[in-house]
Structure 1
């Protein structure tokens, strides 16, 4: 099954291999800037990914070759005289939008401000070699409270540089710093993201879900507490039917048939 549909004028939702959702921000003429329609479409897309049991992995990307997302539509923000943005103004995974499945940002151009946030909130990130990442809020007098988790993703000195200067990182530098998983030419970006998604989708879903949770809970606590929490996290995984199926399929020299239970 392969389907693609518009959730709003600004967001498309495509199902690949029956298990991978490709969510595309589709305002290329406006550098995929976040307006109310784009925010609404993304909210609907993330809800569908989370609730559809057949979907295993989500990929977020932008239309065109210039921008992944250039941040808030400042024309719309100016028209609304936006002051303190409400926390639910844009849908952020892990902060108002529940997500238990792995997500991959496929950054096809500039990722600035809210666009950086969209790359940051995904679990993995691949980028085109011409992509750049910047938190430009200091240049326009706005704020970046959402950047707090960045201290777990980049060294402190780099976080300081990025926030205080507003200057973007190249994709290559972002990868050298461990912020980006892979950098490829734009023509290979979709395949790169899909290959990563397929390798995740082929794995035992309960293990994948718990492993993702492990990474995030470890950022919340010290070493001993994280180890104790991880034991509880994986107990239901060890007791699942899939935990028996994995070794059995290996012994029988066949592909595992995961049931997610």
Structure 2
């Protein structure tokens, strides 16, 4: 990772690395699942680490953008830990089983998924919850629950992101979609060689972080309005949300900086 900050140190007792690491590199926070030997599967430890990480990002005033990724080059996240599920005979997952941004936790800052390998089942869900997706050329996306008899209630919002028949095909077959096909469908924003993934995701995050923070946060909210409201109500909500931005100091700073031929100094107010 270009200029990567030192990741969190090991577990509390110093015995091993954490299952999920959090590192701040300038305005970009990196949340990294670090269990490549288990294909970064969603064990209880990984899920707890993801919850801790997204909450930390939410509350971190120095972090403008989150990049979610994973260690290794085989898997971003292969989904639930099936061995753990079999041992615990998991039935219906609780509402807080996994952080689902926009559903069971609100994060108003942008989140990017840097997909370094397969993103299956719960791993697909993590990318679904991201605002932007950068994928390595060899990455694959799949909703594999039908192959193991599990459920996908979180797929209810997928037709908002993808054409319904594409969603139906993914759900019914469990077959993977390539990174390039994901790009064609609008699921992925950028496809890059694997050795350029971190740099590409970092560059994208910096480009977002350079913009006015109030405008960025409200843009994220605006994109989701049509999924919640009829179009007429969505416009009304958008007008209400954006009024404080128009009235902010930053709304004056942008044009002033342009006139003076300098970079704007955003205050976030």
TM-score bucket of the superposed structures, by smaller chain: over 0.9
| Structure 2: gaps of 5 or more residues | 12-17
**What does residue 225 of structure 1 align with?**
233
Q: What's the TM-score, normalizing by structure 1?
A: 0.97
Mind listing any 5+ residue stretches in structure 1 that lack a counterpart?
none
Cross-structure match for 2:20: 11
Runs of 4+, deviation exceeding 3 Å = none
Pick aligned residue for 1:199 from 202, 207, 216: 207
Structure whose residues are more often strand by fraction:
1
Correspondence 1:74-93 to 2 at 5 A:
74-93=82-101
Shift of 1:229: 1.1
1:178-198, CA deviations, whole angstroms, 9 ceiling, x for partnerless residues?
Answer: 110010111000011011100
Instruction: Report how many aligned residue pairs link the two structures.
Output: 260
Query: Which among 185, 190, 205 is matched to residue 198 of structure 2?
Result: 190
1:3 CA displacement: 3.2
- TM-score, with length taken from structure 2: 0.94
Report the counterpart of residue 179 of structure 1 in structure 2.
187
The CA distance in 1 between the partners of 2:241 and 2:214, in whole Å, is 10
Q: Structure 2 CA distance, aligned partners of 1:108 and 1:174?
A: 14
Q: Does 1:137 align with 2:140?
A: no
Q: CA RMSD in A?
A: 1.2
Q: Distance in 2 between matches of 1:56 and 1:222?
A: 30
Shift of 1:6: 4.5
CA shift, 1:227, in A, is 1.3
One of 14, 20, 30 as aligned partner of 1:22: 30
Cα displacement (A) at 1:149: 1.1
